[in-house]
A and B are shown apart, each in its own frame.
Chain A
Amino acid sequence: MQKTVLNEEHRRRGARMVDFGGWEMPLHYGSQIEEHHAVRRDAGMFDVSHMCAVDVRGSDARAFLRRLLANNVDRLQLHGRALYSTMLNEAGGVIDDLIVYHLADNDFRVVINAATAANDLRWMTARRDEWGLAVTIGARREGADALAMIAVQGPQARQKVWQALPECQSASAALKPFFAASVGDHLIASTGYTGEDGYEITLPAAQAVMLWNRLADAGARPCGLGARDTLRLEAGMNLYGQDMDESVSPLDAGLAWTVDLASPRDFVGKAALLARPQQHRFLGLLLLDRGVLRAHQQVESAHGRGEITSGSFSPTLQQSIALARLPLAAAVGDTVQVGVRDRLLAARVVKPCFVRNGSILV
Chain B
Amino acid sequence: MNIPTDLKYTRSHEWVRLEADGTIRIGITDHAQELLGDLVFIELPEPGRELAAEQEAAVVESVKAAADVYAPLAGSVIENNQALADAPELVNQDAYAAWLFRMRPAAVNDLDSLLDAAAYQEIVAAA
Contact = CB atoms under 8 A, between A and B. Distances in A.
Interface in B33-53: 37-38, 40-41, 43
Nearest to B56: A341
Interface in A259-314: 290-292, 294, 312-313
Nearest to B43: A291
B61 A292 contact: yes
Given A291-B43, A292-B66, A28 B37 contact: yes
**Among B37, B43, B63, residue most surrounded by chain A Cβ atoms (within 10 Å):** B63
A230 B43 CA distance: 22
Contacts of B61: 291-292, 313
Contact of B63 (A33, A290, A291, A341): A33
Interface residues of A, number: 17
B64 A226 contact: yes
A316 to B, nearest CB: 12
A341 B59 contact: yes
Interface in B56-72: 59, 61, 63-64, 66
A242 interface: no
A292 B85 CA distance: 13
A27 interface: yes
A294 B67 CA distance: 13
Interface in A8-40: 16, 27-28, 31-33
Interface in A198-254: 226, 230
A315 interface: yes
A230 B65 CA distance: 12
B41 A291 contact: yes
Interface string A32-64: 110000000000000000000000000000000
Contacts of B85: 290
A32 B89 CA distance: 12
B70 to A, nearest CB: 15
Contact of A226 (B41, B59, B63): B63
B41 A31 contact: no
Interface in A310-342: 312-313, 315, 320, 341
B38 A32 contact: yes
Given A230-B63, A313-B63, A292 B41 contact: yes
Contacts of A226: 37, 63-64
Nearest to B40: A313
B43 to A, nearest CB: 7
Contacts of B64: 27, 32, 226, 312
B37 A292 contact: no
A230 B66 CA distance: 15
A286 B20 CA distance: 45
Contacts of A31: 37-38
Nearest to A312: B63
B85 to A, nearest CB: 8
Contacts of B63: 32-33, 226, 230, 312-313, 315
A27 B41 contact: no
Given A27-B64, A294-B66, A313 B41 contact: yes
A208 to B, nearest CB: 26
Contacts of A230: 63
Contacts of A312: 63-64
Contacts of B59: 341
A33 B38 contact: yes
Contacts of B38: 31-33
B29 to A, nearest CB: 16
A315 B88 CA distance: 13
Contacts of A294: 66
The 8 closest A-B pairs by CB, nearest first: A313-B40, A33-B38, A292-B61, A292-B41, A313-B63, A32-B63, A32-B38, A32-B37
Interface of A: 16, 27-28, 31-33, 226, 230, 290-292, 294, 312-313, 315, 320, 341
14 contacts: A27-B64, A28-B37, A32-B64, A226-B37, A226-B64, A230-B63, A290-B85, A291-B43, A291-B61, A313-B40, A313-B61, A313-B63, A320-B40, A320-B41
Given A31-B37, A290-B85, 14 more contacts: A31-B38, A32-B38, A226-B37, A230-B63, A290-B41, A291-B61, A292-B40, A292-B41, A292-B66, A312-B64, A313-B40, A313-B41, A315-B63, A341-B59
